[in-house]
Structure 1
Amino acid sequence: MVAAAGIGIEGAMGALQRAAGEMSLRVWMETHREELLLAWSGRRLNWKALCEWFETVGLTNAHGEVATIQCAKKLWQRVGRYLAARKERAELEQIEAEARREALRAKRQQAIEEENELKARMARLAETAEWKRKQEAARKAASPVTPAPAAAPTAAPSSGPVGQGVPDGFVMLDLPRLEGVSHRAYRPVDPSLPPVREGEISPITGLVWSAGDDLPGYPSKRNYEYERDWLRDVGRLLRHLHPTNVTMTREEARVMRTAKLSIPNL
C-alpha cells in the first residue's frame, strides 16, 4: 500500500473530471488556451480537427459526450471570458496591494517628518530657554540691588544704551530710550545667535513670524512672545531714527509699513 503522504492529487483530479464531463475539456482549455493561441500565432483554429483530437484523447463535454464543433466553440469562448476576468481581478488586486503599500510608505514618511519637526521644535524651545536664562542673568548683573544715597537726585532716562553689567558674550544695542518702547527692546543681545527669519516658528507661542526678518541693529523677535509687540517697538524706533521712509532700507521700510497697518496711530 502506498503511504497517504505520497499520494498526489492527479487521481482525484481525474476522478472529478470524469464525473463532471465538461471539466475534462474545460480544464484543458483553461490550462492551454493562451499557450495554444500563442503557438498558433493568431491563425484561425480548425475546430473539426480539434474536436476529432478531443475525442481521441478522451476530452468530453459536461454530459460525458464528445464535444461537437458548436459546443467546443462556445466552451472556448466561455473559458476566454473567464480567463480575462481572472486576469483583470489579479491586476486589480495587484493595484490595490500597491496602493496599500504606497499608503503605508506615506504614513511612515509622515510619521518621520512629524518626529523630525517635533525634535526641531524641542531644540528651538531649548535654545529659547537658554537664551532666557542668559537674559535673566544679564538683567540681574545689570541691576544690582544697592540702596541709593538719600540726597542723590533722580536721574533722567538716558538717551543712549546702558552698557553696564552686560555679561560676557553679550552686547547692548545702541538704541535711544523712547517713551512707549518696552523694556524688551533694551535687553542685552547674544550676537552669536542667528537672526530670526520670516517663516520661522516662535518657540514660545508656536506662531509663524510673518513680518520679515530681524532688522540689523534693532531688537530681535527672540525678546518677544508676539510679533505685534515687536512691530510696535521697532516701528517707534524706526520712526524716531527715520522721520521719513526715504532714508530707510528696503527691509526697514517693509517692516514700517507692516507696523503702521498693525498698530493704530504709530
Structure 2
Amino acid sequence: MSRKRPTGDGDELLARLGWLTAQARERAEFQRSQVELAIELQRGMLPVDMPTAPGFDVAVQYAPACYGLNVGGDWYDAFKLPDERIGLSIGDVQGHNIEAAAFMGQVRVGLRALASVTSEPGELLARTNDLLLSIGAGLFATCTFMRLDPSTGVLESARAGHIPCVWATADGKSGIAEDEGGPPLGIQVGMEYPVTRYRLTTGGVFVLLTDGVVEGPSVSVDEGLDQVVRLAGIAAVAGMSASSLAAAVIKGAERVGHEDDAAVLVVGHDAAGRQP
C-alpha cells in the first residue's frame, strides 16, 4: 500500500524552493548591477582624447571581459608632460570588482599627479608605489610607464610587474622588448624600477598591452605575444596607422578567449604614405 507524503511537508518544500530561487535571483541581480556600476566607473575614468605631436601618433583600444561577470581594473593613459614630452601608461589592477575599478582610478590619477613632479619613469613608478602603499587599499597593480621625446624619438620605459611591450620597425624587424622591470605597485615600500631606453624610428611602432590581450583559455601568454609581434611587424612594413594596428590587436584578443579586460596602447612614428 503506497504512502502519501503529508501535504504540510510538500508545501514546506515548495516554499523553501521558492525562497531559495528568490535569493538566487536577488544575488544575480545584485552582482549584475555591481558589474554594470564597475564598467561605468571604469569607462568614466579612462581618457577619451590622446595627445598629439608632429610625426607621432597615439591610439588606444579597450574591450571588456569576454566571459562571465569579470570586470577588471585595466587602464591606459597618455598625456603631455610639462616639458612637452608625452607620458604613456598602461596597467592592470588586482581583482575584478568595483574596488579594482576604483583603485585603477587612484593609480592613474597618482601617476599623472606625480608626473608633474618627476617624469623620469623609474622614479615616477617608485613614488607611485609608495603613494599607493600609504593609501592602504590592500590592492596592487602592474604597470608600464613610458616617456616619449618627440624631438628625438627616444622612449624611456620602466615596468612594474607588467607584461612586456612589443616593437616593430619599418624594415621588417619586430620583437618583444627586453627590460629588467621591477615588482608590481603597492606590494612593498622602497622599490626601484630600472629604466630602459629605446628609439622609435620612422615607420616604427611600440605596442603596450594588458594580459587580457594575449592570455586566455585558448592561448598561452607566449603564443599571444608572438601573435602581436607578427601583427606589429606586418603593420610597420605596410605603413599602417597606429589606430589600425590597435584595432587589429584588440580584434586578435577575441581569439584567446580572454576572461579579463583587454587594453591596447600603440604609439607610432608616422611615415610618408602611411595607410589609413
TM-score scaled to structure 1, two decimals? 0.29
TM-score scaled to structure 2, two decimals? 0.28
Larger Rg: 1
Structure with the bigger percentage of strand: 2
Structure with the bigger percentage of helix: 1
Q: Which has the higher contact order (CA 8 A, sep 6+)?
A: 2
